[in-house]
Structure 1
Amino acid sequence: MQAVQFCQMKDGTKEEYEFLTEHEENYAKGLPDRLLAALRNLENTLSGYQVTRLEHSLQSATRAEADGADKEMIVAALLHDLGDDLAPHNHSQYAASILRPYVRPEVTWVINQHGLFQNFYYIHHLGGDPNEREYLKDHPWYQVCVDFCERWDQASFDPDYPTKPLEHFEPLLREIFTRPAFDPRYVGEQTMGRSAVDIAMSGKATA
Structure 2
Amino acid sequence: MPELTRDTIVAFLGDIFARRGGEEYLGEPVTMAQHMLQGATFAQQQGFSEEIIVAALLHDIGHFTSEFGTYNPDDTQDRHHEDAGAAVLGAFFPTLVTDCVRYHVAAKRYLCATQPSYFERLSDASVHSLNLQGGPMSAAEVAAFSANPNLAEIIQVRHLDEAGKVADMETPDFAHFAPMVQRVVDRHLKGTP
Q: Which residue of 2 aligns with 1:116?
A: 106
Quick one: structure 1 residues 100 and 182, their matched pair in 2 at CA, closer, same or farther if it must change by over 3 Å?
A: farther
Give me the TM-score of the superposition, normalised by structure 1.
Answer: 0.64
Letter of the 1:33 partner, please give it.
A
Distance 1:85 1:99 in 2: 13
Structure of greater relative contact order (alpha carbons < 8 Å, 6+ residues apart) = 2
Q: Indicate conservation of the 8 Å contact 1:123/1:129, yes or no.
A: no
Deviation at 1:161? 3.5
Query: Percent identity among equivalent residues?
Result: 24
Is 1:54 the equivalent of 2:33? yes
Q: Indicate conservation of the 8 Å contact 1:102/1:182, yes or no.
A: yes
**1:32-90 CA-partner distances (Å, limit 9, x unpaired):** 21110012233232353200000001001001111211112211211111111342412
Letter of the 1:165 partner, please give it.
D
State the secondary structure of the residue aligned to 2:163: coil
Q: Indicate conservation of the 8 Å contact 1:102/1:180, yes or no.
A: no
Number of residue pairs aligned between Structure 1 and Structure 2: 160
Q: Over the residues paired in the alignment, what is the CA RMSD in angstroms?
A: 2.8
Q: Indicate conservation of the 8 Å contact 1:113/1:145, yes or no.
A: yes
Q: Which residue of 2 aligns with 1:4?
A: none
Distance 2:96 2:65 in 1: 24
**1:149-168 CA-partner distances (Å, limit 9, x unpaired):** 12x10111011444222222
Q: Which residue of 2 aligns with 1:141?
A: 150
Letter of the 1:36 partner, please give it.
G
Q: Which runs of 5+ in 1 are unaligned?
A: 1-23, 185-201
Letter of the 1:131 partner, please give it.
M
Give me the TM-score of the superposition, normalised by structure 2.
Answer: 0.69
Distance 2:6 2:189 in 1: 13
Q: Which runs of 5+ in 2 are unaligned?
A: 71-78, 113-121
User: Based on CA coordinates, which of the two structures has the bigger radius of gyration?
Assistant: 1
Q: Which residue of 2 aligns with 1:72?
A: 51
